[in-house]
Every structure is written in C-alpha cells, then in structure tokens.
Amino acid sequence: MTDGGGQRPGSWEAMPPAGEAGRAPQSDAQHEQVQALVARIHELERLTDLLSRGKYLWESTFDAIQDPVTIIDQQYHIQRANLATAGRAGLDIRKVIGKKCYETFAERQTPCERCPASEAVRREWPARAELGCQIRQRDYQVFAYPFPGAKGSPNAVVMHYRDVTEERRLQQEVVQQEKMAAIGMLAGGVAHEINNPLGGILAFTQLLMREFAKGSAVRSDLEEIERSALRCKKIVQDLLDFSRVTTGQERGEISLSQVFEKVLGFLKRELLSQNITVAVEIPETLPTVMGDTNRLQQVFLNVLTNAVHALPKGGAITITGMHDETHQRILLSIRDTGMGIRSDHLHKLFDPFFTTKEPGKGTGLGLAISYRIIRDHHGTIEVDSREGEGTTFRIGLPVANA
C-alpha cells in the first residue's frame, strides 16, 4: 500500500540543487579544462604585468640618460628618442618622433658630415665619429650601434650623442698653457742672449752717425740700421715681458673704467684719423679687480689696437662691463665691427708669433702676452669672430674682494 502522496512508506527521491534544474552534470574532463583555462588567464595576466613593468623600466632608463639617445632608421627618421634629445632640440618629445634627426636635432638640411650611422649599418658593427661643431654649434662625439631587425640584419641604428664641447675647450686650454710655459722659458733665454749684441750694434751705429752729416747717403744707411735695431730691441722687450713671471707685489685694487680711460687716451688720435667711434658702457659702480695696472693696460691696449687695425675704413668699437655676482667676476666685452677673423685662424690667435698682419707690421706677440697676463691674474680671455662680421674679445677677471 501507498500513502496519499503516491510514495511507499520509508522511501524518498533526491531532488536536484536549486539553480541546477535541467543542467547536465559536469564531467571531470570539463572541470579540468576550466581549471586549466583559469590558470592560463592568471599566467597571461602575470605576463602582461611583467611586460608593462618592463616597458616602464625601459622607458624610465632611456629617459634617465642625460646624453641624447635616439633610434633612427636608414633614412634618418627618428623612431624613438629620450627626453635629453628633445631637451637639446628645444622641442616637445612628441614632435621629435618621425622627423629626420639632422633636421630636428642638428638643425641642418643635410646629414652631418662623417655621421657614423651609415657605416654602422653597412658594417653591422658599432661605429664612432667626431662631428665637430655641426650640431647646434656644439662639439659632439657620436656612437652608432646597429639595431637588428626581424631577420637579424640591421634596419635601424641606436645613436648616442656625447657633448664634448667643454672637454675640448679644457684640453685646448691645457695645451695652450703648456705651450706658453715652454715658449716662455725659451723666449727668456733667447731675449737675454740677443740683448747684449743688439746693444752693441745700437751703440756703435749711433757713434758712427755723429761722423756724417744729416742727409748724406752713409748717414741714411746708418739711420736705417738704427731703426731696424730698435725694432729688434722692441721685439726682445716683448719676449722678456712674455717670459716674465709676475710676483703679485705690484698688484692692488683697480677701477677698470679708469684703466680704459687711460688706454683710450693713447689711441685718441688714431681713432679720430680712422673715423672710429668708441662706446664705453662700464658702470662706475662696477667692483674693482685685483691686479697690476700697467700689465692690464697692456692687455687692453693690445686688444683695442687689433680692433683699430681691423677697421681700416672706420667703424665702431663697443666696450661693456658687468658684474657676475654668482661667480664674483667682472665680465668685459670688447667688440668691433671690423673684417673679422677666419675660422681656421681662431684657435691660433693666442699662439706666440702667429699674426695675420703684413710683414713688418706685427710680431704676433701682443695677444700671446695678453693671454699670459690674464692667466696670471686668474682670469680668462676668449675670442668670438666671424669673417666679415666683426670680432668680440671676452675677458673675465675676479672681483678684488672675492
């Protein structure tokens, strides 16, 4: 017998859990596939996170390099660039990508001469070159590393630009100092050896001149000998000045405006005769410098005389002075509107005996002596010139109470 529910007493049927009514029971194989898929998803998420972190680290490292670094293709288009590249170019990093490196970074219409990029691709080996003053008036040492493409051959180049402008300047300064020291020792010895016989030539020439009347042929010849001997004596004196070691005992506080006032007095007649105007922009409140007045006058006279010689048809000379409070130095600028100096002569300008003047009109010692005097005063002297556009001498001297 059964009860009213149609079930036998003492028996029951298992009901399906809520929500699974009508669903087929999951097999063990399906369960394993689901677990494997979940594990694969977790692994992909981990790899994605690693790739994101790696990309961030790579870009951070790339941008942390202070030297400009770029990746360019064989047509010089920039594919990647670090922030230093954009900073040197003065552009937003987003405006650098896709542009030609020589147009954007170097501001040129053609690739830089001796650019190592093409050599690195051709040889499939790193290349290096000194580009000189081709990139924004700076000296760069450039390294090119071939960047392999999908098939292993280079289709891009990693370019590393190292600014060596200051390094080259310091190297040239050291060479100049060594050259000055060596020539100074030689000049001192030669000057003393020449002085004695030269004095004898002058003395006997002047004695002989007394024996002949003015206007005679012999007297004219003797006068020519005297002029030549006096010129030699001046050169010897310049050599002695060049080799002279300053003890510092003659030094005191100097007003540069007063020094220039005296120096311009020496050149007044020459300036008027050649129609040269001079503008002096040195404030009277400019701090004094510590130095030897006579020797600094010699420096300024040499520089101004060169400026006058560069203005045979007239022109203008501007003298300015300012106080660099950060470094406690007085910065002087002597600028002329003359014919300028050839670029291949600039690095020789302070070399003893180097001159561009005609024979008999210059010994090539004026600027060399000036360089030596300024260095003895713990100062700096530099020149900037372009042929046909004038010349500017920049002199820096420490403030007296610095």
Full-model pTM? 0.49
pLDDT category at 159 given cuts 50, 70, 90 is very high
pLDDT higher than threshold 80 for residue 169 = no
Which tokens in the block code for residue 364? Answer: 């090539």
Q: Classify domain 165-244 by CATH architecture.
A: Orthogonal Bundle (1.10)
User: Residue 125: CB partners within 8 Å, gap ≥ 6?
Assistant: 146
CA-nearest of 280, 258, 244, 261 to 375 is 244
> Domains of the chain: which residue ranges?
63-163, 165-244, 249-402
Q: Classify domain 249-402 by CATH architecture.
A: 2-Layer Sandwich (3.30)
pLDDT higher than threshold 60 for residue 9 = no
Please tell us whether the domain made up of 63-163 is placed in CATH 3.30.450.20.
Answer: yes
Read off the pLDDT of each residue in 319-331 and give the average, rounded to a whole number.
92
pLDDT tens-digit readout, 233-283: 877 776 666 556 554 556 789 999 988 988 888 888 889 889 999 999 998
pLDDT tens-digit readout, 111-158: 888 899 989 988 889 999 988 777 877 888 999 999 876 555 677 899
